[in-house]
Structure formats: C-alpha cells, structure tokens
C-alpha cells in the first residue's frame, strides 16, 4: 500500500518536471522549424523550382549570375558582349512569352506539344536566352548553372518582388526600412508618454485617481490588435487622408499612431513596477535634504528606476516590431523604400501575414517569408534578453 503511494508520487513528480520543460521544448521547436524552413531559402535559386536557364549552343556564354539574369530580363542589358559573348543583341524567352510568340498555336493536352513548338521557335535564334521548366527546354540548348539565393541579396537587396517572373527579387531592405520607420514613429510618442503616465500614476496620483485610471490602462492592453486595426482603418486612415489631402490614408503615420497606442500599456505597466520598487528611504532622504517632490522624482526616483524604465522601453520596441494585424490593416503594404511618414509602407510582420497564404509550401517565396519570420524571432528574442539582462545587472549591484 505504502509503495503504491510512493510510486504514484514519483509519477506525478515526473509529469510535473516534464511540464516544467514544456516552454523550453516549445522554444526549441520554434527555432528548429522556423530556421529549417527559412534557411532553405539559401539553397535555391530565386526562381520557380522546376525552372532552368539555357542559351543557344552557338552562344559562348556559359555563366550568368542572378543579377545578370535580372538585368537581362528587365531589358537593362541588351548586348551579349557585356557578358563576354558575341556582339549581338539579347533576346529573351520565358513562360510569359509563350502567349506572345506562339499565339494561336495548339499547345496540346497538358502542354505536350510545347517543347516541339519552342524548339522550332528557338533553334535558329543564336541570341536567345530561355528560362523555362526543364521539360519544355528547346532541344540542344545548353543549360546554365544558376546560383543559389545569396545572404547578401536577401539582406542587402533593395527590391522585394517575390512574384516577378522569371527571376524573383527577395531584397528585404524596403521592408526593414518600413519596419524601422513605423516603429520609430510609434515609439517617438509612446515611450515619453508612457513614462510620464507611469510616473504620474505611481508618484503623483492619489489612490482614488489611480483606481479610476488603472482599469482604462488595462482595457487598452486588453483590446485585441485586430480591433485596433479596424479602428485605425475606419477612423485614423480617413482622418490622415483628409488632413494631408492624400490619395489614400494607409500610411506609415497611421501605422505609427496605432502601434504607439498598442505599445503604451506594455511600457506603462513595466515602468510602473520599476518606479514602485524605488526604496522609500531614498525618497525620504531626498525630502529631508530639502528637495521638493518634483526634484525628488527627477533626481532620485527616475535615475534609480532607470534600468527598469529602459527595459520597459525595450519590451515596448519588441511589442511594436512584432505587432501584426493592426499594421497590416492600416499601412497600405506597399513594398517600396519609404521616403516619408505619408508613404505607404510594408513591415516584416505584415509581409508574412499578407503573402504566406498565397505561396506554395516549400517554394522559394514560402521560404523567404519564413526567413523573415526568423529575423523577427531573432529581433524579439534579442530584445527580451536585453531587457532581462539590464534588470538582472541592476539587481546584482
């Protein structure tokens, strides 16, 4: 009887220990799956999976980089001489051109006649470069090895055109710039406002006022982000459109306003905790030296609570960077380099949310979006660690 009880106790203990490791396991799983899908981006060429590049056998060019291909297909480079070939103009052919060049021809069931038709079309065109699925490549054309998507092209690329054919562009600079702009605008007013509110609530307001205001701050934190997005869409966006006489009000400014509001309660509550933890003796000592309340706040309380306030601000940054629905609904999502707060911008989260639904699983676009999520994960993970480290350092002292 006694042993049975002991065994039961041991089992319970094991279950509890296992549950204790749950969050660690989840974090590891998240890291594993995000990066497995995301890093695959750099093992593929930035075009559709089955596609290859090929040139006419008489063309001496046997190597073309992704950038060169992009230049060729966007008609920026027009002569083979640039790439070490003969002095002749470049002609291009990709899946998009089937309609143009083989118009009215019978392609057969499931494109069974396509290869033949393309071969007829291409065989005498020495200056032709073709990007097509392998099985439709014209006979005798020489395949050119394609480079994988490079890390530099992802993080340093200025163009985000995930569906441009035949070569996709996955440069995240416009998206990073959009994220920075929106978050910067949000925090510019949210951080000072939140710190002031925290100081007021802890130090200045009496208990009655605090009890009235606190539920509103909690409400602010409790409203789902999709409601903020809806509110932004029907109130703030039209307001901005009217005020600045724009064609559309979905701008970085709208995103900043909404994100600022969303990050307020996070920064307020954590700053409040920091300010509340200032020892009473410090305050009393300051009063005893003849300082008034205002001086005490700025010379004693804020400096003492600074590490907590800074970590509150950092967590606020993390909150704004990771916010998805509200930004998605009010910023217009144009993937371009923003030049002002009145431009439509696209941030990391909204890019993922808006585009992932339309991608093929395992495709390059899918992987590029997972890579973006990895960036997001690393950023927020880093912000959390930083915030905790700052507080831990202070406690050690």
Partner 1 sequence: MSQSKQQKQTIVFTTFMVITVLVSAISIGVFFYIFFNGISVLSWGFFTGVPENGMTEGGIFPAIMGTLILIVGSGLVAFPMGILAGIFMNEYAHQNWFKKFVRLMTNNLAGIPSIVFGLFGMAFFVNGLGFGVSILSGCLTLGVLILPIIIRTTEESLKFIPDDYRLASYALGASKWQTIWRVILPAALPNIVTGVILAIGRVAGETAAILFTVAAYFLPKMPTSIYDETMALPYHLYVISTSGTDIEKARPYADGTALTLLMLVFGLNLLANWYRKRLNKKIKV
Nearer CB in complex with partner 1: 36/135: 36
Q: Considering the complex, what minimum distance in angstroms separates the CB of residue 290 from partner 1? A: 10
Give the span between the Cα atoms of 285 and 306, in whole angstroms.
19
**Rounded least distance, CB 164 to partner 1, Å:** 23
Between 59 and 351, whose beta carbon lies closer to partner 1? Answer: 351
Q: Which residue has the tokens 């700053």?
A: 271
133 contact partners, CB below 8 Å, separation of at least 6: 48, 50, 51, 52, 95
Q: How many beta carbons lie within 10 A of that of residue 266, not counting itself?
A: 21
Smallest gap from residue 171 Cβ to partner 1 (A): 20
Least distance from partner 1 to the Cβ atom of residue 163, Å: 18
Residue 357 Cβ, how far from partner 1 at the closest point, in Å? 7
- Return d(Cα 312, Cα 266) in angstroms, integer: 7
CA distance 372 to 87: 42
Return the number of the residue (1 or 110) whose C-beta is nearest partner 1. 1
Planar angle of CA 170, 174, 179, nearest 5 degrees: 115
Distance CA(308)–CA(311), nearest Å, equals 5
Cα-Cα end-to-end distance for the chain: 52
Yes or no: say if 356 and 366 are a contact pair by the CB < 8 Å rule. yes
- Least CB distance to partner 1 at residue 32 (A): 9
Q: Round to whole Å and give the CA distance between 91 and 78.
A: 8
Q: At CA 111, angle to CA 108 and CA 116, rounded to 5?
A: 80
Looking at the Cβ atoms of 146 and 251, the one nearer to partner 1 is 251
| SS3 state at 55 | strand
- Between 24 and 124, name the residue whose CB sits nearer to partner 1: 24
377 near 30, Cβ under 8 Å? yes
- Closer residue to partner 1 (CB): 128 or 275: 275
Q: Nearest approach, Cβ of 246 to partner 1 (angstroms)?
A: 18
Decide whether 166 or 229 has the Cβ nearer to partner 1.
229
Which of 301, 134, 330 lies closest to 237, judged by CA? 330
Tell me the HSE value of 19 on the side-chain side, using a 13 A CA sphere: 6
Cβ closest to partner 1, residue 180 vs residue 233: 233
For the bound state, the minimum distance from the C-beta of residue 217 to partner 1, rounded and expressed in Å, comes to 7
């Amino acid at each position: 009887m006694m042993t049975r009880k002991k065994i039961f106790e041991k089992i319970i203990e094991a279950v509890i220990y296992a549950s204790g490791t749950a969050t660690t396991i989840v974090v590891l799983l998240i890291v594993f799956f995000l990066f497995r899908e995301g890093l695959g981006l750099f093992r593929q060429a930035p075009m559709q999976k089955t596609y290859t590049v090929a040139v006419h056998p008489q063309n001496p060019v046997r190597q073309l980089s992704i950038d060169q291909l992009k230049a060729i297909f966007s008609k920026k480079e027009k002569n083979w001489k640039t790439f070490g070939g003969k002095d002749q103009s470049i002609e291009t052919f990709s899946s998009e051109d089937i309609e143009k060049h083989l118009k009215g021809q019978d392609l057969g069931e499931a494109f069974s006649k396509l290869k033949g038709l393309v071969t007829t079309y291409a065989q005498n065109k020495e200056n032709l470069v073709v990007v097509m699925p392998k099985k439709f490549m014209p006979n005798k054309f020489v395949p050119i090895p394609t480079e994988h998507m490079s890390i530099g092209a992802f993080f340093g690329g200025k163009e985000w055109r995930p569906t441009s054919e035949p070569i996709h562009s996955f440069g995240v600079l416009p998206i990073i710039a959009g994220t920075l702009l929106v978050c910067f605008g949000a925090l510019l007013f949210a951080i000072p406002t939140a710190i002031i509110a925290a100081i007021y609530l802890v130090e200045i307001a009496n208990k009655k006022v605090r009890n009235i205001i606190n539920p509103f701050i909690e409400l602010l934190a409790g409203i789902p982000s999709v409601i903020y997005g809806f509110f932004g869409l029907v109130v703030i966006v039209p307001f901005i459109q009217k005020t600045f006489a724009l064609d559309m009000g979905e701008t970085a400014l709208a995103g900043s306003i909404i994100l600022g509001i969303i990050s307020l309660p996070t920064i307020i509550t954590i700053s409040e905790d920091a300010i509340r933890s200032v020892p009473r003796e410090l305050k009393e000592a300051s009063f005893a030296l003849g300082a008034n309340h205002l001086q005490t706040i700025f010379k004693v309380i804020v400096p003492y609570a600074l590490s907590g306030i800074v970590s509150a601000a950092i967590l606020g940054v993390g909150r704004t960077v990771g916010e998805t629905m509200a930004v998605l609904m009010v910023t217009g999502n144009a993937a371009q380099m923003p030049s002002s707060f009145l431009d439509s911008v696209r941030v990391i989260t909204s890019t993922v949310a808006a585009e992932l639904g339309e991608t093929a699983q395992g495709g390059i676009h899918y992987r590029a979006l997972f890579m973006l999520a990895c960036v997001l994960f690393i950023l927020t993970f880093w912000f959390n660690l930083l915030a905790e480290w700052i507080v831990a350092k202070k406690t050690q002292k």
